[in-house]
Amino acid sequence: MFSVESAKVASMVEKALFVRVAVPSPLRRLFDYRVPPNFPALVPGMRVRLPFGRGDVVGVVVALSDHTEVAPGKLRSVSACLDSAPVLTPELMELLTWSARYYHHPPGEVFAAALPVLLRQGRAAELPQISTWRLTLTGMDADESELVRAPRQRDLMQLLRKYDALSREQLDEHLGQWREPMARLMARGWVEVQHQDQTTVCAEPSSPGGLDLNPHQQAAVGAVADSWGHFQTFLLEGVTGSGKTEVYLSLVERVLARGEQVLVLVPEIGLTPQLVQRFRDRLSVPVAVLHSGLNDQERLNHWLQAGRGEVGVVIGTRSAVFTPLLRPGFIILDEEHDPSFKQQEGFRYSARDVAVRRAQLLSIPVLMGSATPSLESLYNVQQGRYQVLHLPERAGGAQRPYIQVLDVRNQPMDESLSRPLIKTIDGHLQQDGQVLLFLNRRGFAPTWLCHGCGWVAQCPRCDAHLVLHEKRQRLRCHHCDTDIPLIRHCPQCQGEEFRPIGHGTERVEQAVQNRFPHVASDRIDRDTTRRKQALQQRLDQVHSGQTRILIGTQMLAKGHHFPDVTLVALLNVDHGFYSSDFRAAERMAQLVVQVAGRAGRGDRPGRVLVQTHHPDHPLLQLLITQGYGAFARQALLERQAAQLPPYSYLALIRAEATDRDQPMTFLKEAAELSSRFNGGRVMVMGPVTASMEKRAGRYRAQLLLQADDRPSLHKLLAPWIIALEGLKSARRVRWSIDVDPVEVF
Ligand code: ADP
Ligand code: ZN
Ligand code: ZN
C-alpha cells in the first residue's frame, strides 16, 4: 500500500507546474508560484489567489512554466483559482505586457489597473443573476389537498398557478415570507428555479439614419471604411463644428453592420453628455458607457458584457482603453490632443498611444479626431505614420467664427474686462446673443495680500499662494486640500487691511453682475459643479436661453454645442505664451481654438475676442491670422530647433519625500548609476528641484532624460530602473518614472 501511495505522489510532483503571476506590488517583475497537485487547469489570463508577504492577494497568471529559478524552500503555492476561463484575453495580456515594458511600470499594477475593482478584489467574473421560479410538470398536476396544513405553501402554489413565472421582486411584493415554503415546494419537486444573466436592454433608437454627409465627410468615411481588418491610424482634423461626430457615427454603423464592436475613448464623459446621447439616439445596439459615476457592480457588468460581445459600443475615458472586446473592429479617440488621456500618477500611460498599439495588435483601424491635433500627431502625419483626413468647413451651413486680438495695454479695466470688451458684450446682448467669458482660473483672486506689509497668504504644505474664495470666505490651495477660513489679521504686522490680487472666475462673475445687473449670468467651473447634476442643470439653462452671460473655465472648452452663443471672449491668454513649460503655447493655442469654437455654431456668425498684453506675440498672431494649422507648423519648427518632442524622446524620474534632501540624494545616486547602462546616447539632465518644490507637504525633485531615438532611451531605462529598485536611498523616497511625460516641470 505504502509504495503505491508514494508512486502516485511522485508522478504528481513530476506533473507539477509553475505559474508566473502578475501580483499587485511595486516590484517590476512577475512572481513564480507552485501549482498544487489536483489543481484546476490554469491558463494565462485567469486570476488566482496567492500568499504574498504576510497577506493574501489576487494576481493574474501571465505564463505557465515547467521550471523555476526560485529555490524550492522559498517557493509558495497558489491557494485558489478564481476563474474557470480567462478574464483577460490573449490580446489584452499582450497589450498589458507591452504597456508594463514600455512604461517601465510594475506589471502587477498594470494588470490590476486593467481590471474592474471587484475583479481585483477576487469577486467572481459573473453578471448578476435574475432568478425566476415556476411550476414543474409534476407541480402543475399536484394535488394541493396535501397542503391543508401548510397554508403558506398553498398560497404560493396558487400564486404560481396564476403567473407563468415569478421573480424575487414579484414574490416579495405578493407574499411576505416565501423563501421557506418555496424551499419545501422545491423539495417536493413541484417548483423549479431558473437563473439567467441580467442583460442590457436597448431602447429603440430615436433618430436612426442620420444626416446626408457632405463631400468632405464622405471622403473621410470612405477612407476609413477601406481599411477594415487592417491596422491604420487616421487623424481626422476637422474644425470645431465640422461634423466629426457625424463621421464617427457613420463609421460606427458600418462596423456594427459587420458584426463587430467599437471602442470610443473620450476625455471626460461628464463634460460631453451630448456625445453619449447622440450615440444612443442613433444606434440600435446597446451602448455601454464607462464613467466615474458608475458603482463597482455596474462597472463590472459593463466590462463583462463588452467582453462577451453583448454591447456593440463601449464609450469610456482613459482606462476604458483596456476594456475586453469579443469582436473588436474599430477604435475611435475623440479630442486626441486632450491631456487627460495621459494618466498623471501611478501607472503613467497615454491612453492615446496605448489605443494605437492595441489597434496594431488587433489589426484594426483607429481614428483620432480633433480640431486642434497634438503636435505629436501632426508630426506622425508628416512622417507618413498617420493618414490625415480633413474637414475644413463647418457642417450644416454655420460659419467659422471671426477671431480678433484685443490689446489691453494701457486700457482702463473693470476688473478683468476691458472697455472695448464691455461695449462688445453690450452689443451682443442687445442683439439677443449669448456671451461666453472664459478664464482658466477659478476662485476670486489667486493672491491674498496684506496691504500694510505685503505679507501673502501661503499654503503651509505647498510652495503656492492660497486662493481667495470670496463666496465661501475661505482660502484654498489648488494643489492640496488645504482649506482655511479667511485670514483677517496679518500675522506679520497685525494689520487688518487685505487686498485680493489678480482675477479668478468668481471675481469676473461679480464684475459682470455689477456691470450688467439686469442680465442673467452664471458661472461654470469646478466649484459650481461639485454637486451631482449641477453641471447638467447649468448647461440646460444655457441651452434654454435663460443664462445670457456664461463665465467659466476650460470645462466649457470641450464639445459643447451652444447655438445661440455669438460672442466668446478669452480674458487672459498671456500666461500660455510665456510659461517655462515647452508645451504651454500648444495648450494655449488649443484652448483658444476650442473655446472660440463655441461661438457661432448656429445660424448667426460668431465673434471671438482674445484679451492680451502681448498682441504682437508671433505664435499668437499666426494662430489668429492663419489658424491652428499654421501655428502648429511653426511650433513644430521651434520644437525641432530646440530638439524637443516629438523630435526627441523624454522620460522623467520624479522623487519626493517629507525630508528636503532625500529626493536629491536619491536622484544624484540614480544619475551616477545611469552611466553604467548609458551608451552615451541618452542625455541625463539634473537632478533639479521641481518648479513647485514643496507640494502637499512633500519636497520634490526630478531627473530628465532625453534621447534622439526611442530604442536608446528604453535600452538605458530597462536595466537602470531595476538597479534603482535596489538602491538604499530609493527606500527613503517615493519615486516614479514617467515615459513620454506631458508635464516636465
Ligand atoms: P464636431 O464633432 O466636429 O464638432 P458635429 O458632428 O457635432 O461636429 O456637427 C456640428 C453640427 O453640424 C451639429 O449640429 C450636426 O448636427 C451638424 N452636422 C454635421 N454634419 C452635418 C451634415 N452632413 N449636414 C448637416 N448638418 C450636419
Ligand atoms: Zn501685514
Ligand atoms: Zn497646498
Q: What per-residue confidence (pLDDT) applies to 32? A: 95
* Residue nearest to ligand 1 atom 23, measured at CA: 213
The CATH class of the 398-443+504-638 domain is alpha beta
Q: Which atom of ligand 1 is nearest to the CA of 334?
A: 2
How close is the Cα of 439 to the center of ligand 3, in Å? 22
CA dihedral in degrees (266, 269, 272, 278; nearest 10)? 80
214 Cβ below 6 A of ligand 1: yes
How close is the Cα of 187 to the center of ligand 3, in Å? 65
Looking at the CA of 213, name the nearest ligand.
1
Report residue 617 CA to chain centroid gap: 33
Q: What per-residue confidence (pLDDT) applies to 203? A: 57
242 Cβ below 6 A of ligand 1: yes
Q: Which of 221, 240, 245 to mutate to test the pocket of ligand 1 (most atoms within 8 A of CB)?
A: 245
How close is the Cα of 429 to the center of ligand 1, in Å? 26
For residues 289 and 202, the answer to whether their CB atoms sit within 8 Å is no
Strands (E), 542-601: 549-552, 565-570
246 Cβ below 6 A of ligand 1: yes
Query: Domain 649-739 classified CATH 2.70.98.10?
Result: no
How close is the Cα of 540 to the center of ligand 1, in Å? 20
Q: Which atom of ligand 1 is nearest to the CA of 246?
A: 6
How close is the Cα of 140 to the center of ligand 1, in Å? 59
Q: Which atom of ligand 1 is nearest to the CA of 247?
A: 6
Q: Could you tell me the residue ranges of all domains in the chain?
A: 7-120, 129-197, 215-385, 398-443+504-638, 446-501, 649-739
How close is the Cα of 514 to the center of ligand 2, in Å? 30
Going from the C-alpha of 625 to that of each of 392, 466, 485, the distances in angstroms are 16, 38, 46
How close is the Cα of 552 to the center of ligand 3, in Å? 23
Is the CA virtual torsion 651, 657, 660, 663 positive or negative?
A: negative
Q: Which atom of ligand 1 is nearest to the CA of 242?
A: 3
- Tell me the pairing of strands 166-167 and 129-135: antiparallel
- What is the C-alpha separation between 303 and 316, in angstroms, rounded? 11
How close is the Cα of 503 to the center of ligand 1, in Å? 36
Q: Which helix (H) or strand (E) holds 8?
A: helix 2-15
Omega prior to 491 cis, within 30 of 0:
no
600 Cβ below 6 A of ligand 1: no
Q: Which amino acid is present at 525? A: D
How close is the Cα of 486 to the center of ligand 2, in Å? 14
For residues 477 and 462, the answer to whether their CB atoms sit within 8 Å is yes
Q: Which atom of ligand 1 is nearest to the CA of 214?
A: 23
How close is the Cα of 477 to the center of ligand 3, in Å? 5
Omega prior to 719 cis, within 30 of 0:
no
Task: Tell me which residue of 674, 654, 652, 671 sits closest to 720, measured CA to CA.
Answer: 674
Mean pLDDT of each 10-residue bin along the chain, 745 residues long:
40 62 93 90 94 94 90 90 94 96 96 94 84 86 84 88 82 84 89 74 65 93 95 94 93 96 89 79 90 86 93 94 97 95 94 98 97 96 96 78 88 88 95 93 95 96 96 95 95 95 95 95 92 86 94 82 88 79 89 83 81 90 90 95 95 96 96 90 93 95 96 94 92 95 85
Strands (E), 181-266: 191-197, 232-238, 261-265
Give the orientation angle of helix 628-641 with respect to helix 618-626, to 10 degrees: 150
Looking at the CA of 216, name the nearest ligand.
1
Looking at the CA of 492, name the nearest ligand.
2
Q: What per-residue confidence (pLDDT) applies to 204? A: 63
Q: Which helix (H) or strand (E) holds 730?
A: none
- Tell me the pairing of strands 386-391 and 232-238: parallel
55 contacts: CB under 8 Å, gap ≥ 6: none
* Residue nearest to ligand 1 atom 5, measured at CA: 243
Q: Which atom of ligand 1 is nearest to the CA of 274?
A: 7
- What is the C-alpha separation between 484 and 339, in angstroms, rounded? 30
Q: What per-residue confidence (pLDDT) applies to 372? A: 95
How many residues comprise the chain? 745
Q: What per-residue confidence (pLDDT) applies to 72? A: 82
Q: Which atom of ligand 1 is nearest to the CA of 248?
A: 6
How close is the Cα of 594 to the center of ligand 1, in Å? 16
108 Cβ below 6 A of ligand 1: no
Query: What is the third-level CATH fold of 215-385?
Result: Rossmann fold (3.40.50)
Cell numbers describing residue 562: 451652444
336 Cβ below 6 A of ligand 1: no
Same-fold call for 215-385 versus 649-739: no
396 Cβ below 6 A of ligand 1: yes
Cell numbers describing residue 565: 452663443
245 Cβ below 6 A of ligand 1: yes
* Residue nearest to ligand 1 atom 15, measured at CA: 243
* Residue nearest to ligand 1 atom 20, measured at CA: 243
* Residue nearest to ligand 1 atom 26, measured at CA: 396
372 Cβ below 6 A of ligand 1: no
How close is the Cα of 445 to the center of ligand 3, in Å? 16
Looking at the CA of 220, name the nearest ligand.
1
Q: What per-residue confidence (pLDDT) applies to 177? A: 84
pTM value? 0.87
Going from the C-alpha of 381 to that of each of 237, 361, 373, 477, 627, the distances in angstroms are 11, 20, 10, 41, 18
267 Cβ below 6 A of ligand 1: no
Residue in the block written with cell 505522489:
9
Q: Which atom of ligand 1 is nearest to the CA of 217?
A: 23
240 Cβ below 6 A of ligand 1: yes
For residues 707 and 649, the answer to whether their CB atoms sit within 8 Å is yes
Going from the C-alpha of 425 to that of each of 21, 513, 514, 559, the distances in angstroms are 62, 13, 14, 23
How close is the Cα of 490 to the center of ligand 2, in Å? 4
241 Cβ below 6 A of ligand 1: yes
Cell numbers describing residue 235: 487623424
- What is the C-alpha separation between 374 and 228, in angstroms, rounded? 25
* Residue nearest to ligand 1 atom 9, measured at CA: 243
* Residue nearest to ligand 1 atom 10, measured at CA: 241
Q: What per-residue confidence (pLDDT) applies to 10? A: 40
Looking at the CA of 239, name the nearest ligand.
1
How close is the Cα of 498 to the center of ligand 2, in Å? 8
Q: Collapsing DSSP states into helix, strand and coil, what is residue 590?
A: helix
Q: Which of 246, 252, 399, 560 to mutate to test the pocket of ligand 1 (most atoms within 8 A of CB)?
A: 246
How close is the Cα of 68 to the center of ligand 3, in Å? 48
559 Cβ below 6 A of ligand 1: no
- What is the C-alpha separation between 37 and 689, in angstroms, rounded? 54
- What is the C-alpha separation between 300 and 294, in angstroms, rounded? 9
- DSSP letter at 464 equals S
Q: What share of the chain is helix, strand, coil (3-state, %, to 5)?
A: 35, 25, 40
Buried/exposed code over 79-108 (b: 16+ C-beta within 10 A; e: otherwise):
eebbbeebbbbeebbbbbbbbbebbbbbbb
Looking at the CA of 696, name the nearest ligand.
3
Q: Which atom of ligand 1 is nearest to the CA of 238?
A: 3
Looking at the CA of 242, name the nearest ligand.
1
Report residue 561 CA to chain centroid gap: 22
238 Cβ below 6 A of ligand 1: yes
211 Cβ below 6 A of ligand 1: yes
How close is the Cα of 479 to the center of ligand 3, in Å? 5
Q: What burial class does residue 128 get, using C-beta atoms within 10 Å of its C-beta: 0-12 exposed, 13-18 middle, 19+ buried?
A: exposed
Looking at the CA of 451, name the nearest ligand.
2
How close is the Cα of 324 to the center of ligand 2, in Å? 59
Query: What is the third-level CATH fold of 7-120?
Result: GIY-YIG endonuclease (3.40.1440)
Task: Tell me which residue of 473, 474, 467 sits closest to 441, measured CA to CA.
Answer: 467
